[in-house]
Amino acid sequence: MNMLLVSRIDDADALSFTRHFAGELRSHGHNVQFDSETAQALGTSGTMLSDSSSDIVVVVGGDGTILRCVQQMKRQIPLIGINWGEVGFLADLEPRDACTFLTHLPQPFAVEERMRISFSKDGTLLGEALNEALIVTTRPAKMLRFSVVVDGVPAQQFRGDGLLISTPTGSTAYAMSAGGPIVDPRIQGILLVPLAPYLLSSRPYLISSERRIEIKLESSKPAHLVIDGQRTVELGTDDVLEVKKSPFPARFVDADRNFFEKVDNKLRHL
């Protein structure tokens, strides 16, 4: 099998593990390459993740590293994460189990698709998120005013520090910390979570991805749209964002782990 290994490059132990792990996989007959950033950190040659034609991408890192990989892929290659972070909701393997799992992976292997959401302004795509996008003011301690429009009907208007627009996958990330619910990733919905709203009546919404959703900024203050913590887009004071389900879901190797059991185990170790 053709495998591309990606490691977090700010951790010497993660890089050392990745180098050793590549040798183990090669000893089992797999064709293993490093992505260009990992290869540079290891002092060897590699290939651009965006140009990879590998069968599977193996990520040694936390959720941030996995989100970065998904953002960089032009074609969504099946991915599996080896947890080298603090929590790692997106990483299904622990380092001690990774070699056994990958060397015994059946062919063809099962793939789980995870919904992503796209953000457009005036018909121009701004980006796509696997976890969430965050709209926040560029001026600290200042509130923004939002209007949420669903199928052409105003559904909610509020003032607050910001707004989180999350996928079900992202419901266990920032959205959970902001008071949103944990959502089954099999649900095709878009979660809206106001951040520190001025009125307590402003509550989270989970909206079907089949509906037409628009977010209108109605504030005198400019804002930023931060997508998966990887990309920042400047927004004007009266911009309208169209939010919808992306036609290109992220693809994860199915490690046959029950979502609710995994979340329970992760939360117990926070």
**Beta-carbon count within 10 A of 88 CB:** 21
CB within 8 A of 23, min separation 6: which ones? none
CB 4 within 8 A of CB 49: yes
Question: Buried b / exposed e across 132-141, counting CB within 10 Å, b at 16+?
Answer: bbbbbbeeee
The tally of CA atoms less than 13 A away on the side-chain side of residue 235 is 35
CB 219 within 8 A of CB 144: yes
Report CA-CA distances (Å) from 147 to 49, 159, 217, 218, 233. Answer: 38, 9, 7, 7, 19
User: Which residue do the tokens 């037409």 mark?
Assistant: 212
63 is catalytic: yes
Cα torsion 81, 85, 87, 93 to 10°: value is 30
As a whole number of angstroms, the distance between CA 78 and CA 57 comes to 6
Determine which one of 63, 92, 228, 239 is catalytic. 63
Please report, for the chain, how many H helices and E strands are present, in that order: 6, 18
Question: What residues act catalytically?
Answer: 63
